Structure 1
């Protein structure tokens, strides 16, 4: 096979996770705002166009995995089916715990991502929509558990509190307790939060 033919063959596969890990190291060492997409492309040995096909922005590299978390939450809520309100609160807690369960090899990368997000307003703002989407999913689920056509103010408020508490617990884990299991940290945080909602559930 000639050199020309080899160059025209199937393009080499780029490992998306490896690119993200390299970018995270750069962001951590140099500062998120000081690193450009060109810097990341050069460090990874890929072309600029290839990098943008993988990640539309620097923030997308850091927030990687948020889509998988939403899918996990959606799957857990859908699998629960029609449940009453008290049981629905447990389902919500378990859904967030499941979304915060990471394989051992992903723990350090996840911790780095969360520390970067917590330290940078641009990154935090970029991911607000992801947190909001989770809150909407939970609110709709709690609304169904209430037997209402649309989520009540209580359901919306509690869903937003759960999504925020989940994120806050993960950031706390990343910054102050990386030796602990993040899923257990989230479980503890949401258990405390939802204990206060039991009275509402009993009265609904």
Structure 2
């Protein structure tokens, strides 16, 4: 006899972890949504309800980041932040969370996947986050980089630093790696400048 009634709760975070494991073993492009549904023991319909696109499995939790950024930006208003303020106000809370070994291991897995499939960095929620952060920057003076360019550069530099940390950063926290990379970019004594 088949059980009737409400199906058991599905753990979306666990499904995303299963997908990350599959992506790590087989590559993002080679894994199908059917493969993920089977490995996670959920129906294809449930999988698509929770994760409408395969890339959403990689970015599980990004909506929480977006919501935090929106709240923080609303608190700050047009604060006139500079690059360091953006790092302090928006990135540091998440980078500090990576001091937890379990969170760091999951982040490293995601970052390695992003390094192998950089098209994943084009996720629309990342663009939403970028647009919200832009509203907190100081307006640019003539001859200076416009705020959208500053924010996109900070995000790109942060991701690059984190991808390096995921591969080589043992003995260094994600926050330390990010600060070191952004300081190096800001060093105007660079002979290439």
Q: Structure 2 length as normaliser, TM-score?
A: 0.79
Aligned to 1:119: 116
Does residue 173 (structure 1) correspond to residue 168 (structure 2)? The answer is: no
Does residue 16 (structure 1) correspond to residue 5 (structure 2)? The answer is: no
Does residue 110 (structure 1) correspond to residue 107 (structure 2)? The answer is: yes
- Once residues 90 and 123 of structure 1 are traced to their aligned partners in structure 2, the CA distance between those partners, rounded to angstroms, is 26
- Aligned residues: CA RMSD: 2.7
Cα distance 1:81–1:162, how it changes in 2: closer, same or farther (>3 A)? same
Between 1:24-33 and 1:73-82, the stretch displaced more is 73-82
- Once residues 37 and 174 of structure 1 are traced to their aligned partners in structure 2, the CA distance between those partners, rounded to angstroms, is 26
Between 1:97-106 and 1:53-62, the stretch displaced more is 97-106
Q: Structure 1 length as normaliser, TM-score?
A: 0.76
Gaps of 5+ in 1: 197-204
Return the offset for 1:13.
0.7
Return the offset for 1:19.
0.9
Aligned to 1:96: 91
Return the offset for 1:116.
0.8
Match of 1:54 among 47, 50, 63: 50
Does residue 78 (structure 1) correspond to residue 74 (structure 2)? The answer is: yes
Relative to its length, the structure with more helix (as a share) is: 1
Q: Deviations over 1:34-83 (max 9, x none)?
A: 21111111111111111111111221111223222233333333333454
- Once residues 188 and 75 of structure 1 are traced to their aligned partners in structure 2, the CA distance between those partners, rounded to angstroms, is 27
Gaps of 5+ in 2: 189-193
Return the offset for 1:33.
1.8
1:123-162 superposed matches below 5 A: 123-125=120-122, 127=123, 129-142=124-137, 145-146=138-139, 154-162=146-154
Q: Deviations over 1:103-124 (max 9, x none)?
A: 5222211111111111124434
- Once residues 125 and 76 of structure 2 are traced to their aligned partners in structure 1, the CA distance between those partners, rounded to angstroms, is 22
